């Protein structure tokens, strides 16, 4: 064992045992971030904060929530919302954060796509991020089931039904997921387990991985300038702060993040107190009733784009059933982002405005995602169904064309 001398302060005592100065340097004061960034680079800290808010508010909600189909609805809408001191506040905080976190995730993802921060060594950052997107989606879906309202029940019904489309084992898979032939008490209790234990643990692990993946390739910057981080860090440490292209995570980078966070929190808490029904659908304040199908069934807004890709194929093509085509398209939509680093054939990292065709591709993608999102909620009849169909086809085509487009950009640059 190492020899320990008497410590003169708590800091020294901890330093002897944990080497906190070194950790602090590595994680904070000498963790280097590019200086040439804008507020979009703060989305990571916004997400970490929002996730923390979700965990803390979730812990309080769990103290009163009852995962039983006969008790769940009243435990949320009566006990938590009306009886427990400030229970309503924790529920609003949790419900609105669950919705808003997806807005930030989408901004974070599109920022990564725009600035090309997913390729040439940054693939693992992108993939770990996509894994977070998937686990957050699962957490959002499982959480939405817990109040056991009409939308909880029917969304669970529709989404678990999708697994029936898996060849050969489909029907058995649906029963296995539900724990019953129907969406029932067993389903609610297991989704409760997923929502409060397995998924949060997985998310925490993945957040750790996501942070770690940034270590070696480093954070990208807004002009995709490639430089030697060690040399720039040298400059900074020797006092040449103005000329150095890097800043330390603490306190310079975090000071900007906190400023952006301040604005975000004003927006977020405004929603929590005064404008929350977009995240807490009024339809879900009707208790689940297996005998009454709601007039309109739709998922939460953040799933609408992929739901519309699923729904867009509403007629059989070449003998293949509409349901199966939709399911394949849905699987494509949810999987294709994972391989984005390899669909982009351009060998240089550049922001979209320096890649003419990719620039057009990017904005077409954004427009298509918005169209899919909006039409994903509308009743799929008449013109709506056709808009959905063409938007879904456009989405697939965009990704099919991406390798060609990126290669052309590279060629034209010479």
Partner 1 sequence: MRELKILAVVVVLTLITYWGVEPFAHSQMHPHVDPVNYNFEESDRTTSKEAVEKAQKALAEAEKKADEKAIKGAKADLEAALTFEKTINAFWDANKAAITATPNVANGEALVTANCTACHSIESKGFPKLMDDASTAGAYGVATPDLGSAGKLYSKDYLIAFINNPALASKVSHKFTDGRAHPMPSYELMNTPQEIADMVAYLQSIAPKEMTNKEVFADACQRCHGIKYADMQKGTMGAFSPDADIKKYMGKLPPDLSQYIISRGPDYLGKFINNPQKLLEGTAMPRVGLNQESQEQVIKYLEEIGASKKAQREELGPKFLIYLVIFAIFAFLWKASKWRDVH
Question: Would you tell me which residues interact with partner 1 (CB under 8 A)?
Answer: 35, 38-40, 74, 77-78, 81-82, 88-89, 92, 103, 107, 241-242, 244, 247, 251-252, 255-256, 258-259, 261-263, 265-266, 269-270, 272-274, 278, 282-286, 295-296, 301, 304, 366, 370, 373-374, 377-379
Least CB distance from residue 410 to partner 1, whole Å? 26
Q: Which is nearer to partner 1, 198 or 374 (CB)?
A: 374
Least CB distance from residue 69 to partner 1, whole Å? 16
Least CB distance from residue 244 to partner 1, whole Å? 8
Say how far apart CA 269 and CA 175 lie, in whole Å.
40
Q: Which is nearer to partner 1, 42 or 202 (CB)?
A: 42
Percent helix, strand and coil across the chain, each to the nearest 5: 70, 0, 30
Q: Which is nearer to partner 1, 11 or 379 (CB)?
A: 379
| Angle, alpha carbons 101-358-405 (nearest 5°) | 125
Say how far apart CA 214 and CA 257 lie, in whole Å.
17
Which has the closest alpha carbon to 134: 303, 255, 357? 303
Least CB distance from residue 33 to partner 1, whole Å? 11
Least CB distance from residue 155 to partner 1, whole Å? 15
Q: Which is nearer to partner 1, 125 or 304 (CB)?
A: 304
Q: Which is nearer to partner 1, 127 or 310 (CB)?
A: 310
Q: Which is nearer to partner 1, 167 or 239 (CB)?
A: 239
Half-sphere exposure of 390 (CA within 13 A, CB side): 6
End-to-end CA distance of the chain: 62
Least CB distance from residue 316 to partner 1, whole Å? 24
Could you write out the DSSP letters of every residue in 353-391?
GGSHHHHHHHHHHHHHHHHHHHHHHS---HHHHHHHHHH
Residues in the chain, total = 414
C-beta of residue 302 within 8 angstroms of C-beta of residue 279: no
């Amino acid at each position: 064992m190492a020899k320990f001398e008497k410590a003169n302060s708590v800091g020294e005592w901890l330093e002897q045992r944990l080497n906190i100065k070194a950790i602090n340097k590595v994680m904070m004061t000498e963790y280097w971030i590019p200086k040439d960034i804008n507020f979009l680079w703060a989305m990571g800290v916004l997400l970490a904060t929002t996730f923390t808010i979700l965990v803390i508010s979730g812990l309080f909600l769990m103290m009163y929530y009852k995962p039983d189909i006969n008790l769940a609805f009243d435990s949320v809408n009566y006990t938590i919302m009306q009886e427990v001191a400030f229970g309503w506040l924790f529920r609003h905080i949790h419900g609105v954060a669950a919705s808003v976190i997806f807005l930030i995730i989408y901004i974070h993802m599109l920022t990564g796509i725009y600035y090309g921060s997913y390729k040439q060594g940054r693939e693992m950052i992108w993939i770990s991020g996509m894994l977070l997107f998937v686990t957050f989606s699962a957490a959002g879906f499982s959480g939405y089931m817990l109040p056991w309202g009409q939308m909880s029940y029917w969304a669970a019904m529709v989404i678990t039904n999708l697994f029936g489309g898996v060849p050969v084992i489909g029907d058995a898979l649906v029963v296995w997921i539900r724990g019953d032939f129907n969406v029932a008490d067993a389903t609610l209790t297991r989704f409760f387990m997923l929502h409060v234990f397995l998924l949060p643990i997985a998310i925490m692990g993945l957040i750790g991985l996501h942070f770690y993946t940034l270590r070696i390739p480093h954070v990208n910057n807004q002009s995709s300038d490639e430089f030697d981080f060690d040399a720039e860090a040298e400059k900074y440490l020797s006092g040449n702060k103005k000329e150095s292209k890097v800043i330390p995570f603490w306190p310079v980078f975090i000071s900007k993040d906190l400023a952006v966070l301040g604005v975000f929190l004003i927006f977020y808490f405004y929603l929590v107190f005064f404008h929350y029904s977009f995240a807490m659908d009024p339809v879900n304040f009707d208790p689940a009733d297996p005998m009454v199908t709601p007039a309109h069934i739709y998922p939460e807004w953040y799933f609408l784009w992929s739901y519309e890709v699923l729904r867009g194929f509403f007629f059989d093509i070449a003998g293949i059933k509409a349901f199966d085509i939709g399911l394949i398209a849905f699987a494509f939509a949810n999987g294709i982002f994972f391989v984005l680093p390899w669909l982009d054939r351009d060998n240089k990292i550049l922001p979209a405005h320096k890649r003419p065709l990719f620039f057009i591709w990017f904005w077409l993608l954004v427009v298509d995602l918005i169209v899919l999102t909006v039409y994903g909620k509308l009743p799929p009849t008449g013109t709506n169904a056709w808009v959905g169909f063409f938007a879904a086809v456009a989405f697939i085509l965009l990704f099919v064309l991406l390798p060609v487009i990126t290669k052309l950009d590279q060629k034209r640059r010479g």
